[in-house]
Chain A
Amino acid sequence: MLDTEIIQSRRGGFTRRKFIKGVIAAGATASAAGYLFRSSGVLAPMLSAQGAVERLVTLNVNGQQRRVDVPKHETLAMTLRYQLGLTGTKLGCDRAECGACTVLLDGVTHYGCSILTHTVRGREVTTIEGLEEDGVLHPVQQAVIDEGGFQCAFCAPGFVMSMVGMLDKNPAPTREEAAVLLSGNLCRCGDYDKILNTAMRAAELSRSRA
């Protein structure tokens, strides 16, 4: 049934990106059902006494309450990408060694690949999809466009989130300070000079908007 729906909507001018997202959502439903029925219900009440977690959680993502069924061993980047369809958060190394998965937790930068989704319950998760407000780009996003900051741009969402975190900490960084504050992100194209131009432009833009 789902397949027909997707095929029909493709005829109606569905984009490739939306098609992929549809498949992700369908997959999430199917796999979530697997997790629901796999575990034994008998043990659950006994274990919850000492702080065992429940799989069904409500996450605060980009200002929205999202209900989601999260396996206990799932990382935040996986949940964002494959359950919530927020594919702006990239998985590069999946080892806290590249920064492509950088997201904000309560405004502070973290690697989404190296934290359990269950650990972030009750915290505000912000991904790159949550930066735009009422159709107005975040100063960092505008700066990327102004400066043409990235070459292949796979690392861009992570860098953008790091820049947002950076400006919150230091609204007027020097180029050297910016380099230190952004040192948790890698660009394999080696485009660091333009990325730092972007960071400086972003700081300028956010000061002028404030």
Chain B
Amino acid sequence: MAVIRDMIPPFELYQPAGVDDAVRLMEQYGDEGWVLAGGLDTFDWFKDRIKRPAAVIDLAAVDEIRGIAEGGDGGLDIGAMTSLTAVAEHADVQSRYPLLAEAAGLVATPQIRNQGTLGGNIVQDTRCWYYRSGWPCYRAGGNICYASTRRAMNREHCIMGADRCVAVNPSDTAPALVALDAEMVVASSSGERTYAAADFFIGPDIDIERMTVLEPGDLLTRIVLPAPREGARWYFEKIRDRKSWDFSLVTVASMLQVQGGVIQDARVVVNSIAPYPVRMGAVEAAIRGREPSDETGQMAGEIAVEGARALRHNDYKIALTRNLVKRSIRDAA
């Protein structure tokens, strides 16, 4: 990767004090504007001079979307600018949504969690290094995928959901939020919209240049968690090369609603194996009505990887996905 140790190219900087002002600026600048939350995804792009927006809209002063509050119906309402540390250490998140607390607490490093935001973690761009190094690939508006050529280095790329682009969604909190049936509240100049977390993330078949439904002018403002289910069990596991800093190779987030020793309903979500967090609908249907046993887990793992296709260097992800899905059902607590 190009390492340029001098200043980021100049831009106009705005620090609006509210969502309305932020959205107005975003509309005014359109493609030329860049929304800055924690900045951990942003500054690599700027320092490598691959993204050079005319204006940066820093949300640091938008206090109305920072913090965690009681939501309606016994849920929680989390502002998109809440730091990952604040999410991971919040007493209610820890006791009622341990899945999210664990996911947020496993992101990168303490310093990055102190500064990085939940919203930023959700909407972060992919880590495919061909793309991030400025290669003119499909995702960057070109007409080739450098990561799926014969000699490409694609150990971290996807095993399902590919459509020309084989990059994966790197977010740790995204699969947890899908498993929690969270809702994403999006503001824009035309008003507020709400998306189910599962519909918020999109694949390259829908739009190859975006990871989420957000278009220029859209701002993720809040994440709404419904009340946790009766008898819910959780499982979260992130596999990465080293215990700190690294993005996930495969992450699983599961919620099992167990009553009378039998799975009534389930959410099984795996990330970093596709360009979006994959909700394993077939697995969920197959384990309903069964005990959360080793046998059920084994079956679930096999179903999870049906149709998976490895690239040259990432077949380990198939085995990893199979085993993680198995564990997430057998060991959910």
Q: Which residue of B lies closest to A72 (CB)?
A: B13
Please tell me if the beta carbons of A184 and B47 are within 8 angstroms of each other in the complex.
no
Please tell me if the beta carbons of B21 and A50 are within 8 angstroms of each other in the complex.
yes
Please tell me if the beta carbons of A118 and B15 are within 8 angstroms of each other in the complex.
yes
Q: Which residue of B lies closest to A161 (CB)?
A: B111
Q: Which residue of A lies closest to B46 (CB)?
A: A73
A87 within 8 A of B: no
Please tell me if the beta carbons of B244 and A184 are within 8 angstroms of each other in the complex.
yes
- Known A51-B16, A94-B5; contact A73-B40, beta-carbon cutoff 8 A: no
- A50→B17 CA distance, assembly (Å): 9
Q: Which residue of A lies closest to B24 (CB)?
A: A50
Mask: chain A, 74-97; 1 = CB below 8 Å from B; 0 = not: 110010000000000001001111
A150 within 8 A of B: no
Please tell me if the beta carbons of B12 and A72 are within 8 angstroms of each other in the complex.
yes
A-side interface residues, number (CB < 8 Å) = 35
Mask: chain A, 105-120; 1 = CB below 8 Å from B; 0 = not: 0001111011110110
A162 within 8 A of B: yes
- Known A78-B7, A99-B111, A162-B110; contact A52-B244, beta-carbon cutoff 8 A: no
Say how far A88's CB is from chain B's closest CB, in angstroms.
17
Majority secondary structure of chain B interface residues (helix, strand, loop or mixed): mixed
- A108→B85 CA distance, assembly (Å): 10
Which residue in A53, A78, A102 is a CB contact (below 8 Å) of B111?
A102
Q: Which residue of B lies closest to A99 (CB)?
A: B111
Please tell me if the beta carbons of B109 and A184 are within 8 angstroms of each other in the complex.
yes
A183 within 8 A of B: yes
A181 within 8 A of B: yes
Please tell me if the beta carbons of A116 and B39 are within 8 angstroms of each other in the complex.
yes
> Which residues, 1 to 59 on B, are CB-close (under 8 Å) to A?
3, 5, 7-17, 21, 24-25, 36, 39-40, 43-44, 46-47, 56, 58
A173 within 8 A of B: no
Please tell me if the beta carbons of B39 and A73 are within 8 angstroms of each other in the complex.
no
B-side interface residues, number (CB < 8 Å) = 38
- A115→B61 CA distance, assembly (Å): 14
Please tell me if the beta carbons of B43 and A72 are within 8 angstroms of each other in the complex.
no
- A162→B44 CA distance, assembly (Å): 23
Please tell me if the beta carbons of B39 and A114 are within 8 angstroms of each other in the complex.
yes
- A181→B21 CA distance, assembly (Å): 37
Q: Which residue of A lies closest to B245 (CB)?
A: A97
In the bound complex, residues from chain B placing their C-beta under 8 Å from that of A52 are 12-14
In the bound complex, residues from chain B placing their C-beta under 8 Å from that of A113 are 43
B115 within 8 A of A: yes
Please tell me if the beta carbons of A75 and B43 are within 8 angstroms of each other in the complex.
yes
Please tell me if the beta carbons of B13 and A73 are within 8 angstroms of each other in the complex.
yes
- A7→B24 CA distance, assembly (Å): 54
Q: Which residue of B lies closest to A114 (CB)?
A: B43
A71 within 8 A of B: yes
Say how far A175's CB is from chain B's closest CB, in angstroms.
15
Inter-chain pairs besides A102-B111, A116-B13, A184-B108, 5 sampled, C-beta below 8 Å? A50-B14, A73-B13, A96-B111, A114-B43, A119-B36
